[in-house]
Structure 1
Amino acid sequence: MQFTETELKGVWLIEPTPTIDDRGSFTRVFCEKEMADCGLATRFVQHSRSHSVRKGTLRGLHFQEQPYTEVKLVSCVRGAVFDVVVDLRPNSPTRNRWLGFELTPANMKQVYIPEGFAHGLQTLTDDAEVSYMISQFYTPHAAKGVRYNDPVFSINWPLMPTAMSDRDKSWPLLRKLVH
C-alpha cells in the first residue's frame, strides 16, 4: 500500500498495490500496522455503504460535532465518484480549503479523512456505491453539515447536481454555522 499525505495535513490518499498473476489479483485494502506507522487511526467501529442510482447525485458536506468527531476511510466499490474533503479545523492554516479525488473500483484509491473535516461526494456514473469505514458511532444530534455550494469553499463539482437530499440542500453556509 502506498500512503501519500496531501497538502491538507492529515488527509491521506491510500493506493493499494495489487499482486497480479494469471489467476487475477489480490489486494490488501487495510493494514493496521501500515496505517499506525503513518500515525493514522486504525479503529473503525462502523462500516457503511451508500448507493446512488443517478449520475450527478451529490451527498454532503457532512461531519459530526465534538465530542463525536470521526475519522473516515472512503473508497468506491462500484461506478465512480468525485470525493471531496473540506478542512473545518479552527486553527488550521488550510482552514476552508478543499481537495477532490476521483475514486473508482479500478483505481482502488482510498481517502483517509481525519477529524475536523467535512466530507461529500458526487457520483460520476449511474449506480455508484461508496464504502465508509468510520471511527465513531453515528450520533444523530451531532450530525452536521455545510452547504455544498458555499462560496467560501468554491468547490468545483464536476457536474450539476441531479439528486440531493432535502437535508443536504438546507445545510447552512459556513458563516452561519456555529460549531
Structure 2
Amino acid sequence: MSKRFDIIETAIEGVFILKRARLADERGFLTRLFSPADLCDAGWVGTVEQINETGTRFQGTVRGMHFQNPPFTEIKLVTCTAGAILDVAVDLRKGSPTFLKHTAVELSADNDCSLLIPNGCAHGFQALTDNVRMIYAHSAPYSAEAEGGLHCEDPALGIEWPLPVANLSARDASHAPLGSDYVGIAA
C-alpha cells in the first residue's frame, strides 16, 4: 500500500477513490497526482499515453458520459484542480455484476481525491461550481473511431445529478437512450 494514496473501494469493481496524502508546511503543500508503482494496487497497468486538462466555465454543466470501445478501452485517472465536480463512472463491462450501475464521487480542489476508472466504464461529470479545471491521465491514446457515449439523463443509468443538467454539447445531447438489448462492451 502506498504512503501517498489511500485507495478506497466503491460499489463498482475496479473504480477507486484515491485520497492523496498532502505534505504541507508554512510555504504550501505538495500532493502526488500519479505514480504507476503506487497505483498498481488500484489496477493501473501500463504507461500514461495522454494527459489532458479541461476547463468548465459554468456550474451545472455536464460533460459525458464518454468511453472508448475495444481495442481502445482505457483506464482514466481524474483529478479536479479548481472548483468542484460530481464525477460519475458507469460500468459497461459485459457480464459484470454491476453492469449499468454507477458510482458518483465529489472531487474538488480541496478534498485531495481522484477517481480511477477502469477499462470498460463510461465517465462523465457535473460542475458543482463555476470555473472547474480537471486533469485526466489516460492509459491508451484517444481514437475518434472508438469513441462512444451515453446520454447523461438516460433513465437506464439512474444518475441523480445534484443540479439541473446544463450546457450539454451537441454530441452529448445526441446520444440515444440505451435499448433493452444493450449488452455492454468487452473490457
Q: TM-score range by the shorter chain?
A: over 0.9
- What corresponds to 2:155 in structure 1? 151
Runs of 4+ in 1 over 3 A off after TM superposition: 176-179
In 1, Cα distance between equivalents of 2:148 and 2:182: 9
TM-aligned CA deviation for residue 153 of structure 1: 1.1
TM-aligned CA deviation for residue 136 of structure 1: 1.1
Q: Between 33-42 and 109-118, report the one with greater CA deviation.
A: 33-42
Tell whether 2:73 aligns with 1:69: yes
Look up the equivalent residue of 2:28 and give its one-letter code: G
Q: Please give the TM-score of this superposition, normalised by the length of structure 2.
A: 0.90
Deviations 1:34-68 (A, max 9, x none): 11244422511000111111111110100011111
Q: Counterpart of 2:79 in 1: which secondary structure?
A: strand
- What corresponds to 2:138 in structure 1? 134
Q: How many pairs were matched up?
A: 179
In 1, Cα distance between equivalents of 2:163 and 2:37: 38
How much is the aligned-residue C-alpha RMSD, in angstroms? Answer: 1.5
**Which of residues 110, 120, 126 in structure 2 aligns to 1:106?**
110
| Percentage identity across paired residues of the two chains | 38
Deviations 1:4-42 (A, max 9, x none): 122211001101111222222222222221112444225
Change (3 A) 1:18 1:42: farther
Query: Which structure 2 segments of 5+ residues have no match?
Result: none
Query: Which structure 1 segments of 5+ residues have no match?
Result: none
Deviations 1:56-106 (A, max 9, x none): 111010001111111100010111111000001111000011011111111
**Which of residues 148, 165, 169 in structure 1 aligns to 2:169?**
165
Matches within 5 A, 1:1-179: 1-175=5-179
